[in-house]
Structure 1
Amino acid sequence: MARTRIRPPDPLPILNEPAAPLPTLLLTGPRVFAAALAPTTPRAWRYGAVVVLSSVLSGLAYTLVVRHATVHAATVAETPVPGLPALLVDVLGGMFLGLLTAVLMWGLGFLGAGRAARSAEVYGASFALLPPLWLLVILWTLLTPAAAWLPDAAALQAAGSNLGNLQIAGLRTAAGTQAGFLLLVVTLLGTVAQCALAFPALRVLTGKPLRAALGSLLPLLPALLVQFVGVAPLAIAALSRPPGA
């Protein structure tokens, strides 16, 4: 008697994974972004390029805003003027703080909202908000007349030839320019806007409003603190009183 061979079932067709949404979609439709992200395979650094770009531009914007203060102070105090290596250190410092902010948002967002929230991707996409704003700060800085960055005669006289006082006077003047003020606003309010954009996306992905709220609120203060550290010299100089005032 011949043995009957059992034919194996046909393999299931391989379905193509849908394309991940562009990070800019989060800015116009956080819920639509989350719905498009949900069926894709989780990848923590899917939007890592956006984070890196934003971080580099933030460091460059800060460096350009404060460079007049540092160069002028070194010139008046007759000390070596900061060269290209010093400028690169400032840019890399801003980049490091931007990346640290992204890691904090990822970790604390995960802690608050859980794995389903995909906080690394949501917060990574939220950095798409910042590059156009950093470019605006950079352009505004470059268009500001050089004289606007220099302390007035009274501030220079009060600072004397002390390098530290001259730098503070220069930073105080820089913070008073429109470009300096815009830098502070983008640095701090931009972080708040990122967390606000993340909430509706996290809510769709988790299906739990409370978890989404925790995922957007837990990272807020630590991220703000890190961003404030980046602009602290400018902010503190703006709030300080001139010598003898």
Structure 2
Amino acid sequence: MARTRKRTRPPDPLPDVNEPPAPLPTQFLTGPRVFAAALAPTTPRAWRYLPVVVLSSVLSGLAYALVVRHAMVNAATVAGTPVPGLPSVLIDVLGGTFLGLLTAVLMWGLAFLGAGRAARPAEVYGASFALLPPLWLLVIVWTLLTPAAAWVPGAAALQAAEKTLSDVQVAGLRTAAGTQAGVLLLLVTVLGTAAQCVLTYPALRTLNRNPGRAALGSLLPLLPALLVQFVGIAPLAIAALSRPPGM
């Protein structure tokens, strides 16, 4: 009777005890080159800085939800319709979170095409999101400290809106975009995303040692990332740029 051979599972490879710890994403703030030099001897892991990406995306959605919340509540009050509740806020937060994650995926994918695998774009761009949480927290705190009266459209704007819900909402969004918190939200969304792409160049160049490809990895994601982020703030930005009714 032939014996059946029992297949043994090969042992898992042991981690390299000499491998230094990966740098924290906050080290990216001290200098992209320093961060890349500390990252180079570690094992590549595309998901290493995913938590900071998720944190930044959630905070961006929360910041937007708080800014537009006042406009929606005021519009509903003036138009005599039900005031939006918690589900409306959650939708805005989830929408901002989704767009933040989509932006990260676009950055990683396009930077991979431009800079190559050696530049470790997933980790570099993932760590670059460490730039944003302090800025989103600043927007949130500024929004909470803004007086309630600053969010209410003027009498002329409400009269021109003829008290229809859509017109009053646009008037409210225009007023929200004109507050310091609204302006700060728009600036962080645009300039923060642009800063990520610019600051990743030294890190990508340090890792792949190819200035041309590092520049591609920095520039290719810029416009698509800005476009996705603009989609998130489009209602606020368009309201800010539009002319009031009757003018």
Post-superposition CA distance 1:169-225 (Å, at most 9, x none): 000000000000000000000001101110000000010000000000000000000
Structure 2 residue aligned with 1:111: 113
Distance in 2, matches of 1:111 and 1:97, equals 21
Structure 2 residue aligned with 1:15: 17
Letter of the structure 2 residue corresponding to residue 157 of structure 1: Q
Letter of the structure 1 residue corresponding to residue 60 of structure 2: S
Structure 1 residue aligned with 2:208: 206
* Residue 63 (structure 1) aligned to one of 62, 65, 68: 65
Matched residue SS, 1:43: coil
- Would you say 1:26 and 2:33 are equivalent positions? no
Tell me by how many angstroms 1:14 deviates.
5.3
Structure 1 residue aligned with 2:131: 129
| Contiguous gaps of at least 5 residues in structure 2 | 1-14
Letter of the structure 2 residue corresponding to residue 132 of structure 1: P
Coordinate RMSD, CA, aligned: 1.0
Equivalences for residues 1-245 of structure 1 within 5 A? 15-245=17-247
Distance in 1, matches of 2:116 and 2:69, equals 42
Tell me by how many angstroms 1:15 deviates.
3.3
Distance in 2, matches of 1:19 and 1:110, equals 24
Distance in 2, matches of 1:14 and 1:95, equals 36
Distance in 1, matches of 2:165 and 2:46, equals 45
Tell me by how many angstroms 1:16 deviates.
3.0
Letter of the structure 2 residue corresponding to residue 105 of structure 1: M
Identity %: 82
Matched residue SS, 1:18: coil
Structure-1-length-normalised TM-score: 0.94
Structure-2-length-normalised TM-score: 0.93
Distance in 1, matches of 2:39 and 2:164, equals 55
Structure 1 consecutive aligned stretches of length 4 or more whose deviation exceeds 4 Å:
none
Distance in 1, matches of 2:132 and 2:150, equals 26
Distance in 2, matches of 1:15 and 1:28, equals 27
Distance in 2, matches of 1:23 and 1:239, equals 36
| Contiguous gaps of at least 5 residues in structure 1 | 1-12
Matched residue SS, 1:238: helix
Larger radius of gyration: 1
Distance in 2, matches of 1:74 and 1:59, equals 22
